[in-house]
Amino acid sequence: MKRLLLILSLAFPLFIKAQNYIVNLAEVKAKIQPTMWGLFFEDINRGADGGMYAELVKNRSFDFPDAFMGWKTAPSRQSYGRNEVFQIINNAAVNPNDPKYLQVTVTKPENVLLQNEGFGGVTVKKGLAYQFTLRCREQVAGLKLKVEIVNSKGSVVGSTVQEISRDARNDGAFKLLQSTITPSDTTVNGRLVLRFEGTGKLDIDRISLIPTDTWKGKAQNMRADLVQKLADIKPGFMRFPGGCIVEGDDLTTRYQWKKTIGPLEERKLISNQWKDGGASGRAMPDYFQSYGLGFMEYFQLCEDMKCEPMPILNCGLSCQFGAGEVVAADQMDEYVQDALDLIEFANGDAISTVWGRKRAELGHPAPFHMKLLGIGNENWGPQYVERLELFTKAIKSRYPEIQLITSTGYTPNPQFKYMDSVLRAKHVDIIDEHYYQTPNWFLMNAGKYDNYDRKGPKIFIGEYACHSVRIGNSGNKNTMLCALAEAAWMTGLERNADVVTMAAYAPLFAHVKDWQWTPNLIWFDNVSSYATPSYYVQQMYSLNKGTDVVPITLNGESIAGQDSVWASAVVDRKAGVLIVKLVNPSSVAKVKSIAGLKGGKASLTVLKGRPEEVNSLEMPELVKPVTALMTVKGKELKLDLAPHSFTVLRLNL
């Protein structure tokens, strides 16, 4: 065999010999889709409300079932005869999407105030301007409103006087009033306080406080540090809005995209499915979806990050772990119509189509060019297949160009097996598989797609993450070992990019105090955030995606764990580079050399750390990749693969 390799490398100069490794630049094994490495966004662990959505006021519209959740009043509503000062008016008959507002009635001057606790405290930065917004209407003139941000000791760090303008007095309609507060000090556990002076009656539908340093100053009001971390991955796609929240606990709490667009008062707040804590049992009774981030914002975010939008829709089944409600097959019209309307909303003409016009009215006349649409999340069984067919028929007859992503459930055995055979027989476009597994599983399964059916549906690894302790256990950590196991598994996805066309780690975000699921890619508190070792693995893959897979072999076989090294190789034809990814999760250093190079510029990016190491808010960069530039002189490059390391080598061709 060795003799044969020697002859081959002499005969074909494009064969590079790396000790026992052969990278064959002449053989393109697969084309890599620009979508290959992407993101999966879900409002879990405070991912949206209290996280990426920069709103600082909890229950800003008094629409939580307990309308005063997050609020305190003076006088206390509990004291006898005082609840007439603060009353919740049920306005559902007028606007079912925004069913409640607060009426403040002050008949004699006294200390009347309303205080919001924010999401685990109102956090503000010294010197930064905050936009205060009040949606209100005046019933009886006379109230003056002083708005303050106070710190945990009760001292005022910023304030404004919000005039009730002539506008809010006139025609009985709610109006938006705005002013700015610039705190003189930073506070992390503050409160927003509204003091009512004088007498009068005011209806308040919404109270909002949003920092002005949101991501790129865009109207979507997203937290800059969090979104920038997503953008820095340069994702190929973003799947949204979930996850389980697509399915809902039952069908009343399923995600309905039409209720998440337009003016905020038209977006219908609902409970967040993760409120009960999921497997971790860390219940968060105050977890609701305000839809401040809705479908329009997600589409725009994808556009801004230059990635493909991948919305997922409910398929007529609620979470099969939960109530498992099923919409009767002959009553699926609304669900299927939602899918058709979504395609028109994303892609339809801004003048001649109803939903394209709607998009234009919302400020985006140009289409979003959506190509991917998911039907269902982690649904399975004959009920799913029956409903999938209804969607497929309706969508493919009108929009054959849309690639449909079909669900296979949540576990390889027995769900994937059953669904796989059924879905393949139906020649579906893309099958969505999810893997939450142990480090060992990821290492052992890095060759899973090496001998896969190349002619059937494409595979989308819609969710995956290595769990350090036990699947679903709340002790799981984003360890370096997990990141290495993911990196090793990803060599297998990359090597098989003709079958696996897209993949995303899951979940994306978690608040360090308010989470239901671990591990997650990015952790944050109200002030800052940090990237996990797994984040850096995702980023190293995405920034080094390449255009073509080329074989990298050891004695003619793919390097999936041989000598405890996992590897893949791609070339980027546009950039003119060979990119080799090498994962050494073992505790032993490996020395390799790659021969047959022409010499020239190269870079070596290495992520390494002890297997148990994690990043944290205190040490956000304990583990992070380091890049060294080098010039390869001559024809050989010796590589020291450190123990517990992931290396990306880029060589000019």
**Residues tagged active-site:** 378
CB of 434 to ligand AHR, least distance (A): 6
Q: What share of the chain is helix, strand, coil (3-state, %, to 5)?
A: 25, 35, 45
Q: Pick between residue 190 and residue 243 the one whose CB is nearest to ligand AHR.
A: 243
Q: Pick between residue 116 and residue 520 the one whose CB is nearest to ligand AHR.
A: 520
Find the residue with minimal CB distance to ligand AHR: 243
Give the orientation angle of helix 381-398 with respect to helix 333-347, to 10 degrees. 40
CA distance 367 to 150: 44
Which residues are within 8 A (CB) of 335 and not within 5 positions of it... i.e. 6 or more apart?
A: 313, 314, 315, 316, 327, 387, 391
CB of 497 to ligand AHR, least distance (A): 23
CA 86, 90, 92 angle in degrees (round to 5)? 155
38 binds ligand AHR (CB under 6 A): no
For the chain, what is the total number of helices (H) and then of strands (E)?
12, 37
Selection from 392, 405, 399, 304 nearest residue 345 by Cα: 399
519 binds ligand AHR (CB under 6 A): no
Site string for ligand AHR, 407-426 (x = CB under 6 A): ---x----------------
Site string for ligand AHR, 189-228 (x = CB under 6 A): ----------------------------------------
- 200-239: burial string, b at 16+ Cβ within 10 Å, e else: bbbbbbbbbbbbeebbeeeebbbbeebbebbbebebbbbb
Give the interface segment with ligand AHR, choosing from 24-32, 120-128, 237-245, 529-537 (CB under 6 A).
Answer: 237-245
CA distance 585 to 646: 8
Cα-based distances in Å from 25 to 167, 226, 526, 569, 653? 70, 38, 48, 9, 10
517 binds ligand AHR (CB under 6 A): yes
Q: Pick between residue 208 and residue 320 the one whose CB is nearest to ligand AHR.
A: 320
Give 506's DSSP letter. S
Q: Pick between residue 71 and residue 255 the one whose CB is nearest to ligand AHR.
A: 255
47 binds ligand AHR (CB under 6 A): no
Site string for ligand AHR, 67-106 (x = CB under 6 A): ----------------------------------------
39 binds ligand AHR (CB under 6 A): no
CB of 247 to ligand AHR, least distance (A): 8
Which one among 506, 569, 582, 602 touches ligand AHR, defined by CB under 6 A? 506
Give the interface segment with ligand AHR, choosing from 12-20, 86-94, 142-150, 236-244 (CB under 6 A).
Answer: 236-244
The DSSP secondary structure of 293-304, one letter per residue, reads S-HHHHHHHHHH
Which one among 24, 33, 36, 42 touches ligand AHR, defined by CB under 6 A? 42
DSSP H helices, 399-479, are 417-425, 439-444
Residues of span 241-260 touching ligand AHR by CB under 6 A? 242-244
Selection from 343, 346, 357, 351 nearest residue 397 by Cα: 343
Size of the site for ligand AHR (CB under 6 A): 12
CA distance 351 to 340: 17
Sign for the CA dihedral angle at 299, 302, 308, 312 comes to negative
CB of 256 to ligand AHR, least distance (A): 17
Residues of span 458-477 touching ligand AHR by CB under 6 A? 463
CB of 273 to ligand AHR, least distance (A): 8
CA distance 571 to 649: 11
- Whether omega before 348 lies within 30 degrees of 0, making that bond cis, reads no
Measured torsion, CA atoms of residues 244, 248, 249, 251, in degrees rounded to the nearest 10:
-150
SS (H, E, C) 74-107: ECCCCCCCCCCCEEEEECCCCCCCCCEEEEEEEC
CB of 41 to ligand AHR, least distance (A): 10
507 binds ligand AHR (CB under 6 A): yes
Give the interface segment with ligand AHR, choosing from 239-247, 383-391, 453-461, 564-572 (CB under 6 A).
Answer: 239-247
Q: Pick between residue 47 and residue 158 the one whose CB is nearest to ligand AHR.
A: 47
Measured torsion, CA atoms of residues 41, 42, 47, 50, in degrees rounded to the nearest 10:
130
Q: Pick between residue 187 and residue 256 the one whose CB is nearest to ligand AHR.
A: 256
Which one among 249, 378, 420, 494 touches ligand AHR, defined by CB under 6 A? 378
Give the interface segment with ligand AHR, choosing from 48-56, 217-225, 238-246, 484-492 (CB under 6 A).
Answer: 238-246
Give the interface segment with ligand AHR, choosing from 176-184, 240-248, 358-366, 489-497 (CB under 6 A).
Answer: 240-248
Which one among 289, 377, 479, 584 touches ligand AHR, defined by CB under 6 A? 377
In the chain, the largest separation of any two C-alpha atoms, in whole Å, equals 99
CB of 240 to ligand AHR, least distance (A): 12
Q: Pick between residue 242 and residue 348 the one whose CB is nearest to ligand AHR.
A: 242
CB of 401 to ligand AHR, least distance (A): 26
CB of 189 to ligand AHR, least distance (A): 29
Measured torsion, CA atoms of residues 123, 125, 129, 132, in degrees rounded to the nearest 10:
10
| Under 8 Å between Cβ of 456 and 419 | no
CA distance 339 to 394: 9
Q: Where does this chain bind ligand AHR (CB under 6 A)?
A: 42, 44, 242-244, 377-378, 410, 463, 506-507, 517
